[in-house]
Structure 1
Amino acid sequence: MWKTFYIKPNEIGILYHRSDFKKILQPGTYTYFGKHWQVTTYDLNQPEAKIENLELLLRNHSSELQEYLLVVRTGFNQAALVRWGQNWVSVPPNQLRAFWRGFIEVETHLFNVTESLALPAEFVQQLRGIALNGIKKFQISEYEIGLLYVQNNFVQPLESGEYAFWAIDRDVTVRTLSRIVPNPDFPLEEVLIERHPEFVAAYCEIVQLQNQQVAIARYQGKVIAILKPCSRKLFWRGVEVEVIDINTDATLPPRLIAELVSGLPETLALSRNCLHICEVPAQYLGLLYINQEFQTQLQPGMHVWWLFGRSLQTQVFDLRQQTLEVSGQDILSKDKVPLRLNLTAGYRIIDPLRAKNGLVDIVGYLYKELQFALRGAVGERTLDALLEDKGAIDNSIFEYIRQKTADYGIEVDSVGVKDIILPGEIKTILSKVVEAEKAAQANVVRRREETAATRSMLNTARVMEDNPVALRLKELEVLERIAEKIEKIQVNGSLDSILTDLIRINR
């Protein structure tokens, strides 16, 4: 029995007899006698020879197979790159792979991954744009620096460029940091400082502060960070660091106040949590307490201190004249008349330290004492006395409050009752009383005037009785007044009888 096999031009075959390897068959036609012959063909367009039992065949027929196959065998610490034509394939450790020779150019490259996970630069360029299993590629821009981590352990820094690393049985990552930012967030910064001093020395400025030390980091003249005591921080090289000892004096000098407080808004945002700021306006006085103990008085101006390691408190007092209103006080007078009063007081703080040490709430204390003084002054007087002499109330309250505030460094300059508001029914009664008093006064004036007028008329009559000429003048005066108010007068008789005869007036 004959068996014929045809191998196509783009194929290659392996001849077996009863599963035993016999030979490699090139393209062509082959005829063999017997039924136990068989041929396995492989497409040469797929350069990798995926042959069953390859390890066994190489052990028994190595010389014959090596003529047709490029065999790639990697150890536990090796990996390989195989190129056929323009294509590439990666071979991980502990692998046996074979590729057909002759049909397409094939070459192989072995790499020791124990010595270096990085691929040489010439291979990185050739593999550009090609994705391969077990290989990770990274691009570092010119404004960046990369940190290579293998199994989350830092290995080395990477300058700008293209990189490829074997990542077959381990995790390989690259964390990029911007060179433009002078204080980037270094990953695991403490580990870099402790375990990789060579990297720190080559690329970084390290700041390590003792207790009672702070530091200001500047880049190109601009503040980029403020460091607390006992802190450590990495910066890129080129950062200037000023270390300040705050053990003896935590006060900021004017140059730092101008830079950290009055300078750029972003600088103030950096320093806000590090500084205690107190601005004392003109006509004010400030008090400084450190760790709950009074230290000094603060004159007008900007005052700034470092906060670290101490508790600071400041309070600012207005030394100008101030006004306090005590409004809507409902009080009974001595004769049980309910009144509502509004009081105004003018005061100034002349000794802020005494006021602060003696009073928790200055305004609250003044308000309360003015209430007491007002109630005492009003409750001791009747309504009539209050209405007759409001100044007496002011003087009474003034004397009382002046004595109360003298020991606290507060000077009361003036006290005055602005309003005394009566209930509606009391207002009505007082209005009637006033109306009656005024009516009585008007009657007295009216009677006095009437008496004077009568006395004047009697005197005039006596004069006319003894002097006819005066009587005639009076008659003419009356006639003149009448003539001013009418258009036409007709007189019957002589002028002598003008006041006794009929006068007819036509209008």
Structure 2
Amino acid sequence: MKRVRIHLGKVGLVFKNGNYQKVITEGVHWLGFNQSILIYDLSHQFHTTVATEILLKDEALVSLLDIVEVKDNELVLVYENDNFKSILSAGRYLFWKGLINRKFQKVDTSKIYITEHIDKSLFSNYELAKYIRAFEVFSYEKAVLLVDDLYTKTLTGGTYRFWRNNTSVKISKVDMRQLQLEIAGQELLTKDKANIRINFYTNYKVTDIEKALLENKDYEKQLYVAMQLALRKYIGQYSLDELLENKEDVSKVVLEASVEVAKKLGVKILDCGIRDIILPGDMKEIMNQVLVAQKKAQANIITRREETASTRSLLNTAKLMEENEMLYKLKEMEYVEKIADKIGEISVSGNGNMVKQLKEIFAVNK
């Protein structure tokens, strides 16, 4: 006989000649010949090399165990004393009862939506995260959800999680803010055969995400081509001078021509316009020469106008002085004063009229 003590928090399995006989709990026990014992800690999961089917025939042992059966496409979340501990995949698991308060939450991973109540903090835990697909849609975005490549619904801003399984789950996102499309360096011929390059811009917003993503492929590229073709079509109807003078009108025409195409793509064009018109080097030189000639012509016109006005003023003054002798004398004295400002010293002699003498000094012999 052999005396064995089982302490608190422990349990023992008795074997005879290698065959399981019974389970013993806390207390003092006696073992007979050819009997052996395996002692287990109740705080740990129960692992054994003996077939569980044999052990579970003992009702006394079964009453001491939590038996967890996990099927395919299932997971079990294990909580110990209300704290997450581990995740169990397909299989059978045995846990000792009595010492630790364990809870088991079973989830079905064969579906795509996570309908079970799981604390969000666990989604960042690697043990659980590896079974989950996560997609993030920003507040300024919308997305279409495709399940097995079939449209399911439209998603707004937020984080979306789905169980990772054999079902294909995809999302396709679109920025719903105002966007800008640049059509740069377009080489075009004007009506008068001038070769120019134009940088054109378009501001637009996506208004129908299903139409943009599901009914059209690469809607942005299609919008680019549509705007490009409209620009080419209407630029050819203007001469270079008309184009330079009426850039805003050209933009309005291109906008009106592109509205219907944009609507079919699920977008709305807000505005568009010509940013730059770039001329070749020789054309730029010619334009500069024309500009200089125009400015010179304008300057000549202004000069002639001023000369004409000045001559007309002199003529009017002469007529007044001819009719009024006093005005003539005053004008004469004014000119004498101006001449005197430029002379350092003047000597006048005799008792004659001073003004008369000055007149004789400055008079021009005819």
TM-score tier after normalising by the smaller chain length: 0.7 to 0.9
1:303 aligns to what SS in structure 2?
A: strand
Deviation at 1:328, TM superposition (A): 2.0
Q: C-alpha distance in 1, partners of 2:175/2:309?
A: 66
In the superposition, relative to structure 1, how do residues 457 and 397 fare at CA in structure 2: closer, same or farther (>3 Å)? same
Counterpart selection for 1:495 from 337, 355, 360 = 355
User: Greater CA deviation, 470-479 or 372-381?
Assistant: 470-479
After superposition, the CA RMSD in angstroms is 4.3
Contact 1:377 1:393 in 2 (8 A): yes
Task: Determine if the alignment matches structure 1 residue 339 to structure 2 residue 196.
Answer: yes
Alignment of 1:48-447 (within 5 A): 207-227=68-88, 230=90, 238=100, 239-245=102-108, 250-252=113-115, 256=118, 258-261=120-123, 265=124, 267=125, 269-447=126-304
Deviation at 1:407, TM superposition (A): 1.8
Contact 2:112 2:167 in 1 (8 A): no
- CA offsets 1:414-435 (integer angstroms, 9 cap, x no match): 0111001111111001111111
The aligned amino acid for 1:251 is I
Structure (1 or 2) with the greater helix fraction:
2
Deviation at 1:234, TM superposition (A): 6.5
Q: C-alpha distance in 2, partners of 1:427/1:226?
A: 74
Contact 2:110 2:165 in 1 (8 A): no
Q: C-alpha distance in 2, partners of 1:391/1:308?
A: 56
* Larger relative contact order (Cα-Cα within 8 Å, sequence gap ≥ 6): 2
Q: C-alpha distance in 2, partners of 1:338/1:232?
A: 80
Deviation at 1:257, TM superposition (A): 6.0
- CA offsets 1:32-65 (integer angstroms, 9 cap, x no match): xxxxxxxxxxxxxxxxxxxxxxxxxxxxxxxxxx
2:133 aligns to what SS in structure 1?
A: strand
1:495 aligns to what SS in structure 2?
A: helix
Contact 2:144 2:151 in 1 (8 A): yes
Q: C-alpha distance in 1, partners of 2:250/2:45?
A: 70
Contact 1:350 1:411 in 2 (8 A): yes
2:361 aligns to what SS in structure 1?
A: coil
Contact 2:219 2:265 in 1 (8 A): no
User: Greater CA deviation, 281-290 or 349-358?
Assistant: 281-290
Deviation at 1:206, TM superposition (A): 5.3
1:490 aligns to what SS in structure 2?
A: coil
Deviation at 1:285, TM superposition (A): 2.4
Deviation at 1:495, TM superposition (A): 2.9
Contact 1:281 1:300 in 2 (8 A): yes
- CA offsets 1:133-168 (integer angstroms, 9 cap, x no match): xxxxxxxxxxxxxxxxxxxxxxxxxxxxxxxxxxxx
Contact 1:334 1:381 in 2 (8 A): yes
Q: C-alpha distance in 2, partners of 1:416/1:187?
A: 78
In the superposition, relative to structure 1, how do residues 348 and 218 fare at CA in structure 2: closer, same or farther (>3 Å)? same
User: Greater CA deviation, 346-355 or 334-343?
Assistant: 334-343
Contact 2:200 2:274 in 1 (8 A): yes
In the superposition, relative to structure 1, how do residues 280 and 187 fare at CA in structure 2: closer, same or farther (>3 Å)? farther
The aligned amino acid for 2:194 is V
Deviation at 1:496, TM superposition (A): 3.9
Q: C-alpha distance in 1, partners of 2:209/2:356?
A: 97
The corresponding residue for 2:317 is 460
Q: C-alpha distance in 1, partners of 2:42/2:55?
A: 19
The aligned amino acid for 1:260 is L
In the superposition, relative to structure 1, how do residues 460 and 327 fare at CA in structure 2: closer, same or farther (>3 Å)? same
User: TM-score scaled by structure 2?
Assistant: 0.73
Q: Which has the larger radius of gyration?
A: 1
The aligned amino acid for 2:295 is K
In the superposition, relative to structure 1, how do residues 371 and 470 fare at CA in structure 2: closer, same or farther (>3 Å)? same
Contact 2:223 2:265 in 1 (8 A): no
In the superposition, relative to structure 1, how do residues 340 and 469 fare at CA in structure 2: closer, same or farther (>3 Å)? same
Deviation at 1:476, TM superposition (A): 4.4
In the superposition, relative to structure 1, how do residues 396 and 310 fare at CA in structure 2: closer, same or farther (>3 Å)? same
Contact 2:132 2:162 in 1 (8 A): yes
In the superposition, relative to structure 1, how do residues 257 and 435 fare at CA in structure 2: closer, same or farther (>3 Å)? farther
The aligned amino acid for 1:320 is R
Q: Percent identity?
A: 28
Deviation at 1:332, TM superposition (A): 2.8
The aligned amino acid for 2:106 is V
Contact 1:491 1:498 in 2 (8 A): no
In the superposition, relative to structure 1, how do residues 315 and 432 fare at CA in structure 2: closer, same or farther (>3 Å)? same
Deviation at 1:397, TM superposition (A): 1.8
The aligned amino acid for 1:218 is Y
In the superposition, relative to structure 1, how do residues 424 and 236 fare at CA in structure 2: closer, same or farther (>3 Å)? farther
Q: C-alpha distance in 2, partners of 1:305/1:340?
A: 51
Contact 1:278 1:303 in 2 (8 A): yes
The aligned amino acid for 1:242 is Q
2:217 aligns to what SS in structure 1?
A: coil
Q: C-alpha distance in 1, partners of 2:227/2:94?
A: 62
Deviation at 1:481, TM superposition (A): 5.4
Deviation at 1:222, TM superposition (A): 4.2
Query: What are structure 1's unaligned runs of at least 5 residues?
Result: 1-119, 122-176
2:127 aligns to what SS in structure 1?
A: helix
Query: What are structure 2's unaligned runs of at least 5 residues?
Result: 5-39
The corresponding residue for 1:141 is none
Deviation at 1:259, TM superposition (A): 2.4
Deviation at 1:232, TM superposition (A): 5.2
- CA offsets 1:458-498 (integer angstroms, 9 cap, x no match): 11111112112223333444456567x76955363623443
User: TM-score scaled by structure 1?
Assistant: 0.54
- CA offsets 1:171-221 (integer angstroms, 9 cap, x no match): xxxxxx9999x789x799xx86567668x9699865433355333233454
